[in-house]
Amino acid sequence: MGSRANVAIRQDGLWTHYGSNGMGYSLDAWLALGPGPAVAMFRSGSWPAWTPEVWQHESWAEAGALIDLDARELLFFVSADYARRRALIEACRRVWPGWVVRWAYNGISDVTDALGLDRAVVRREPWTNDDLFHWVRPGADDPPRWHYLVSVGAVTYWPAPYKPWEIGPALLGQLSELAQVAELPDVPGGGLHLDPVTRTAGVWSIDPVDGLAERFFARWPGWTLEFWDDRYQEQEIRCGAFRFVEPAADVRRLARRVLDHWLPSTEMFRDQWPAADEGYDRYYGTRDARLTVADLQRLVDLLLGPDAAPIDVAAHARKMHG
């Protein structure tokens, strides 16, 4: 299996985008060192430039970004749990100083919308599923699946395996198959809160919602929608005694991923890895950023911020070098 992604770079009013069926796994590490290294890598020639009308499908894209050099804006999303995503956003706001850093809540279609493209390029699929358990039905002894928390009034259910806001009001008759819960050990990928009395729905999500604001009312006629971005606390305060466990942003985990991705392109490692093997660049274009170990130390210090324990990049490099 791959990890599909597109990254667009806009400069002087013109844009190019690069696509990959495997890049999405590492997009957090590619972006985390700031605009200079990221742009140099994507423009290296190691990433194929796609034609303007060809993009990953909306439901397939697991990561994507727009690096807007004109507006100094980074718009992106990756597949990550809440804590990892929080660490990434906070780090990017330090390492991209003077830039606006925004999460693409609609996934790849937020990127194409920002470029002024027709929605047809992302091949949006209709919401036709009316069964919350279409893909998987929980057994009596199955552990809970940490996907999408559903709450109705003060009653909160084990997280559902499918985006519940896509089901419509038929969802209310299916929730009896989910056990009730008073707390969760982790923040899931999203949540739906329903108030049947006022016919109001609230949604938050770190997973792409794929045009929720435009598509909700066809599935939930007569209901109103509030979209809470990633603010799971909005659901928590409406659920009586239910509580999430506050996620901790582990920025050192992100820093180690960054070093694993960028250190091999420094001169210390170049004798171990050939420049290319039958046209395949093992460095994924990172050499074009021309980063030294000292450069990485400076950027990793910035990424970690003033409150995290430092990482000795040279020592880490020696350990990797073996």
CA 90 distance to own-chain centroid = 13
* Whether the predicted pLDDT of 19 surpasses 80: yes
Mean model confidence pLDDT for the chain: 91
- The predicted structure's pLDDT at residue 232: 95
The share of the chain scoring above pLDDT 70, in percent, equals 92
pLDDT tens per residue across span 74-132: 999 999 999 999 999 999 999 999 999 999 999 999 999 999 999 999 999 999 999 98
The share of the chain scoring above pLDDT 90, in percent, equals 73
Measure the CA–CA gap between 120 and 116, rounded to whole angstroms: 12
* Whether the predicted pLDDT of 278 surpasses 90: no
Sign of the alpha-carbon dihedral angle for 99, 100, 103, 106: negative
- Tokens representing residue 152 in the block: 């109705």
* Whether the predicted pLDDT of 138 surpasses 90: no
Helices (H), 243-312: 251-262, 293-304
CB proximity list for 196: less than 8 A, separation 6 or greater: 152, 153, 172
Question: In Å, what is the CA distance from 94 to each residue of 42, 53, 122, 304?
Answer: 21, 33, 31, 9
Of the two residues 139 and 11, the one the predictor is more confident about is 11
Question: Which burial class, exposed, middle or buried, applies to 4 when counting CB atoms under 10 A from its CB (0-12, 13-18, 19+)?
Answer: buried
- Tokens representing residue 284 in the block: 């994924």
Task: Read off the pLDDT band of 143 (50, 70, 90).
Answer: low
Q: What is the 3-state secondary structure (H, E, C) of 133-178?
A: CCCCCCCCCCCCCCCEEEEECCEEEEEECCCHHHCCHHHHHCHHHC
Task: Read off the pLDDT band of 179 (50, 70, 90).
Answer: confident
pLDDT tens per residue across span 210-234: 999 999 999 999 999 999 999 999 9
- DSSP labels, 100-142: EEEE-TTTHHHHHHHTT--GGGGTPPP-----TTSS----TTP
* Whether the predicted pLDDT of 145 surpasses 80: no
